[in-house]
Structure 1
């Protein structure tokens, strides 16, 4: 039986929630995120997107592009509350749900009560609008890659079906950056070879994918031919945990940077201890004043959740770093988790 996969994605979620709660914001260019000049856009309404504003953009750039934009602070507690309502509706459709974020998920409805993906999509959209008051876009296909592609097709409030008969012709004019699994560096490498759209890549022999795209090359080869065998996985283990902040003022003072990393290391240690898990790969991330991201990682020979060990690793990374430019953002993440499953035995 051919699988029926849905990708559901709330439309401009944070901004839509703000417009839902405040009628005065409806139809206006709403930009959610940090409101200071040093803040970053979390998301924005479609009215703001017309001006070129997008997520992860520095607020000072967003203000230049959209001078009449309404800037609103994030309210994560409210977004989580709305998200829970939406996911409760999705659970009435199927138990096979793979959350990707607070506002999007994959659903496998192959063996559900619904006769088709279109029927399920209409049911979801109707209930989300009626019970939550927001719109949602749904992509329908026989695999995850194409379902995700379909949900972006005619946002907002869209439905799109991609079936096997459309493959591979549908994909041919797409820029290769749209292909899941091709990162920014791979896209740049391929662009430098004169490969810009899927049709260019499609014509390459299988050996090309292996040589230039490494171990994921064959997955890309299949994907642009409409093949994606990834399952919808209901439970996704957290792969990392971290903390970061945008600094009040740019600096290259290592002592000041370490003071932030020290606080983050304490928070990370407390999180790991509470969850009874350990990590071994510690990554320090920083962004320069020219908005260039840098990451430096060290993998320990053992697992830890100890504050001192996490912080000392951060300290080592920073001390060895040749910081030539002022830094505007600093953060640390721990990954490569292992759960402690050893139970304390009683004497009797």
Structure 2
């Protein structure tokens, strides 16, 4: 069993998308900046702490945000710039720590267990935070504790521009007075159910009998109870080994029918994008492989702004296919792979495409979940003759 005496650092950018905009335009410093679309169907993707003081928050409808903060400065946002800034930070951290997990576009977990004999983890975390801020000019906060859950909660308590160390001896005193809302992964429905039971603080949740938690919430109840007691054995998943998802198709007979091949690529991407969204992930790297009848493989790869939407992924895959298919020979196989996966697709894709595209994906996913993954496709992804 994994020891609970670990040294886990959680590093999280402060209002990341806004910070990138402020770095580009310092005149936005201290202003109520809101990233998102102002259209009637638009939503807030991110906002500055100044805007949050008026009640604005991520995923809030734009109309409500305008009412709460009428003097807010709205910016459409640039996912390409945010992705590049995210890669900047990840590279700095990777070069300076033994084990790192990229949990989302703006947060990382670092495992420093066993490194205390070489240097104090708290001091090193402070130096690392200073290094990131100096080299990127972007603010960042960190929490240090015995596991991922407590370190993340520590970061959330000290943001913005903060750092907080929660030693093993004070984990429970730190957690006890906090609202159960502070527990990562606790959803709104669960919060309402627990609140109706009179459980609103973590110390109240920690006292509930495991059998009762299991009876009302199943395995999720036991999972929450452990978090309330500061228990989290989940490991750091190395960023270098982040899993990719992919698919390939070998044709019944070698083909040069580019129309049908493009239909096939569209269908393949839609299946992979749906899988990404089901896992609440997005990808930053696309790879296309073409195998000719001569059995020679040609592979093309490109970094893209983080996304899990069909549109940008289909466009990039077709572009890479055109680059790979240069010899005008018969094709035996095509393959598509999405990699550099991180969590949190909802926030990332709120404005990477139009609201109509985002709503379309949501509607199609709803049908797929009910009737199966093949229940609905774009017209450009059907009619295959290969």
When the two structures are superposed, what TM-score results if normalisation uses the length of structure 2? 0.64
Instruction: Please give the alpha-carbon distance, in whole angstroms, between the structure 2 residues aligned to 1:191 and 1:237.
Output: 37
Q: Equivalent residue of 2:153, what SS?
A: helix
Q: Is structure 2 residue 375 aligned with structure 1 residue 313?
A: yes
Q: Is structure 2 residue 75 aligned with structure 1 residue 13?
A: no
Report the equivalent of 1:142: 146
Matches within 5 A, 1:178-217: 178-217=182-221
Q: Equivalent residue of 1:182, what SS?
A: coil
Report the equivalent of 2:234: 230
Superposed displacement of residue 140, structure 1: 0.2
Superposed displacement of residue 267, structure 1: 3.5
Q: Which has the higher helix share?
A: 2
Instruction: Please give the alpha-carbon distance, in whole angstroms, between the structure 2 residues aligned to 1:194 and 1:286.
Output: 38
Superposed displacement of residue 295, structure 1: 3.9
Q: Please, which moves more after superposition, 199-208 or 69-78?
A: 199-208
For 1:111-151, what per-residue CA distance to the aligned partner results, in whole angstroms no more than 9, with x for missing partners?
Answer: 44862331222112211221111110000001000000011
Structure 2 residues without counterparts, runs of 5 or longer = 246-271, 278-309, 319-333, 340-356, 378-386
Report the equivalent of 2:164: 160
Q: RCO greater where, 1 or 2, for CA within 8 Å and sep 6 or more?
A: 2
Report the equivalent of 1:96: 99
1:241 to 273, 279, 288: 273
Report the equivalent of 2:62: 59
Residues 5 and 106, structure 1, Cα contact 8 Å, conserved in 2: yes
Residues 244 and 337, structure 2, Cα contact 8 Å, conserved in 1: no
Instruction: Please give the alpha-carbon distance, in whole angstroms, between the structure 1 residues aligned to 2:366 and 2:65.
Output: 26
When the two structures are superposed, what TM-score results if normalisation uses the length of structure 1? 0.71
Superposed displacement of residue 298, structure 1: 4.1
Alignment CA distance shift 1:218-1:85 (3 Å): same
Instruction: Please give the alpha-carbon distance, in whole angstroms, between the structure 1 residues aligned to 2:183 and 2:139.
Output: 26
Matches within 5 A, 1:3-42: 3-42=6-45
Instruction: Please give the alpha-carbon distance, in whole angstroms, between the structure 1 residues aligned to 2:185 and 2:218.
Output: 11
Residues 115 and 121, structure 2, Cα contact 8 Å, conserved in 1: no
Instruction: Please give the alpha-carbon distance, in whole angstroms, between the structure 2 residues aligned to 1:24 and 1:276.
Output: 37
Instruction: Please give the alpha-carbon distance, in whole angstroms, between the structure 2 residues aligned to 1:295 and 1:186.
Output: 22
Report the equivalent of 2:75: 72
- Number of corresponding residues: 278
Q: Please, which moves more after superposition, 232-241 or 70-79?
A: 232-241
Instruction: Please give the alpha-carbon distance, in whole angstroms, between the structure 2 residues aligned to 1:179 and 1:196.
Output: 11
Instruction: Please give the alpha-carbon distance, in whole angstroms, between the structure 2 residues aligned to 1:286 and 1:131.
Output: 34
Instruction: Please give the alpha-carbon distance, in whole angstroms, between the structure 2 residues aligned to 1:276 and 1:125.
Output: 30
Instruction: Please give the alpha-carbon distance, in whole angstroms, between the structure 1 residues aligned to 2:315 and 2:226.
Output: 39
Q: Equivalent residue of 1:139, what SS?
A: strand
For 1:182-230, what per-residue CA distance to the aligned partner results, in whole angstroms no more than 9, with x for missing partners?
Answer: 3222222111222211222222212112211212333222221111111
Alignment CA distance shift 1:36-1:299 (3 Å): closer
Superposed displacement of residue 286, structure 1: 9.0
Structure 1 residues without counterparts, runs of 5 or longer = 245-262, 278-284, 289-293, 301-309, 316-348
